[in-house]
Structure 1
Amino acid sequence: MRHALLVFSFCLLPSLSHAATKAPHSHGSLGAHEHGTARLDVALDGQTLALDLDSPGMNLVGFEHAPTSDADRAAVARAREKLTAPLELFNLPAAARCSVTRQELLSPLFGNAASDHDHDHDEHDADAHHEHSDVDGHFQLHCEQPQALTGLDLARFFTTFPSTHKVLVQAITPNGQVGLDATPDNSKLAF
């Protein structure tokens, strides 16, 4: 039942999202592929915390093309390693005693996913060498003391990935829905 509620919660998030922040070239219900901007959906149900990150690869590795050099491959490996530590990256309170039970990182940059942002016939097709590669991170955590989860702080995310200037955060918790257009100067979301 809890899994169904989490899935249902994530299905609702796009319809409740920041429609006003969509750029003119948006693709799908999750909004535009906008360099410097990422999206984080959060759902807390009982002791299960789900985090769903969607970011242009440019924000995390500095490029979106397939890695072709040793430097490119090293940048991808560094970003992937940093993303595998969601407890630190999202600065969850230690008192919540959360542990990662499942995580999945998908991206054409990692060689394990096709780009969700293929274009039919827009202006980006004029440059056949320019592709959009997003990084999707799906994290599920078990929190022994979920009442200690009073929010999250993205300050470490911004310092870890300085090319990210804004994260559109939506959260569904037992206290209701909250959202924040997080920036390095405004990185804390209370829920």
Structure 2
Amino acid sequence: MRRLLLALPFALLPLATGAAEHGHAHAEHEHAQDEHGSLNAHEHGAAQLNIVLDGKALELQLESPAMNLVGFEHAANSAADKAKVAAVRNHLQQPLTLFSLSAGECSVSQQTLESPLFAESEQGHDHDHDHDHDHEKNHDSEHSDIQAHYTFNCQKPDDLQQLDLRELFKRFPATAKIQVQLIGPNGQQGLELTAAQPTLRF
């Protein structure tokens, strides 16, 4: 199922060709930024969501600056910061709630959360040497992202008419907009969701 999302950028390539022809030098600059893992220049308040619905398999991949979800991007050193990271992680481990998958009889078959902030919280007290290294790396990059990847098995995919991100915007109010790329039964589409317009149709 992971190969579906890997194919997503290629499937959406025609949407980007016009922009690429705008200026080769500009495209090269953007490519260089992409190689360094930036999320559209790491825009605070903005996130990306890739969605693939293929038969009974639904795959979601959310990528967001940590600032949108946690409220900071530095290493979680204080007890308050660690509590925030733990709370965000707990929210992200409830995808059926965040994405309001109330139809389609969908169940989570796999989920993965990735972020330097999560890695640091997992290290606990065993971090004398590694913490210094990670802390240094964190300062070098300046930015921290959070990635959440979910795979669902939907027994009745035809009943899955829409995705509602109302709860996600509610729990993470610093997220002002989510750029969505969707591949589903009706083809591919790109759209922007906000707290005022939090739903998309498959």
For residues 161-183 of structure 1, what are the alpha-carbon distances to aligned partners after superposition, in whole Å with 9 as ceiling and x for unaligned?
00100000111012111222111
Measured in 2, the distance between the counterparts of 1:165 and 1:16 equals: 27
Identify the residue that residue 127 of structure 2 maps to in structure 1. Answer: none
- Seq. identity, %: 47
Is the 8 Å Cα contact of residues 5 and 52 (structure 2) preserved in structure 1? Answer: no
Report deviation, 1:100.
0.4
Quick one: structure 1 residues 182 and 13, their matched pair in 2 at CA, closer, same or farther if it must change by over 3 Å?
farther
Report deviation, 1:131.
1.1
Quick one: structure 1 residues 64 and 5, their matched pair in 2 at CA, closer, same or farther if it must change by over 3 Å?
closer
Measured in 2, the distance between the counterparts of 1:16 and 1:184 equals: 29
Deviates more, 1:172-181 or 1:61-70: 172-181
Measured in 1, the distance between the counterparts of 2:40 and 2:11 equals: 12
1:190 equivalent in alignment to 2:188 = no
Identify the residue that residue 105 of structure 1 maps to in structure 2. Answer: 113
* Structure number with bigger Rg: 2
1:181 equivalent in alignment to 2:192 = yes
Identify the residue that residue 39 of structure 1 maps to in structure 2. Answer: 48
Is the 8 Å Cα contact of residues 5 and 50 (structure 2) preserved in structure 1? Answer: no
Report deviation, 1:5.
5.7
Report deviation, 1:32.
2.4
Identify the residue that residue 162 of structure 2 maps to in structure 1. Answer: 151
Q: Give the partner amino acid of 2:115.
A: S
Could you list the runs of 5+ residues in structure 2 that have no partner in the other structure? 20-28, 121-138
Report deviation, 1:14.
6.1
1:54 equivalent in alignment to 2:69 = no
3-state SS in 1 of match to 2:8: helix
3-state SS in 2 of match to 1:138: strand
Kindly report the root-mean-square deviation, in angstroms, between the aligned alpha carbons of the 2 structures: 2.5
Is the 8 Å Cα contact of residues 113 and 149 (structure 2) preserved in structure 1? Answer: yes
Report deviation, 1:13.
5.8
Q: Give the partner amino acid of 1:15.
A: L
Identify the residue that residue 10 of structure 1 maps to in structure 2. Answer: 8
Could you list the runs of 5+ residues in structure 1 that have no partner in the other structure? 113-127
Select which of 136, 139, 142 maps to 2:147. Answer: 136
Report deviation, 1:8.
4.8
User: Which structure is higher in helix share?
Assistant: 2
User: When the two structures are aligned, how many residues end up with a matched partner?
Assistant: 170
Quick one: structure 1 residues 8 and 136, their matched pair in 2 at CA, closer, same or farther if it must change by over 3 Å?
closer
Quick one: structure 1 residues 79 and 66, their matched pair in 2 at CA, closer, same or farther if it must change by over 3 Å?
same
Quick one: structure 1 residues 57 and 16, their matched pair in 2 at CA, closer, same or farther if it must change by over 3 Å?
farther
Is the 8 Å Cα contact of residues 51 and 59 (structure 2) preserved in structure 1? Answer: yes
Give TM-score, length-normalised by structure 1: 0.80
Q: Give the partner amino acid of 1:40.
A: L
Measured in 1, the distance between the counterparts of 2:6 and 2:43 equals: 26
Deviates more, 1:179-188 or 1:60-69: 179-188
Select which of 79, 84, 93 maps to 2:88. Answer: 79
Deviates more, 1:129-138 or 1:163-172: 129-138
Q: Give the partner amino acid of 1:153.
A: D
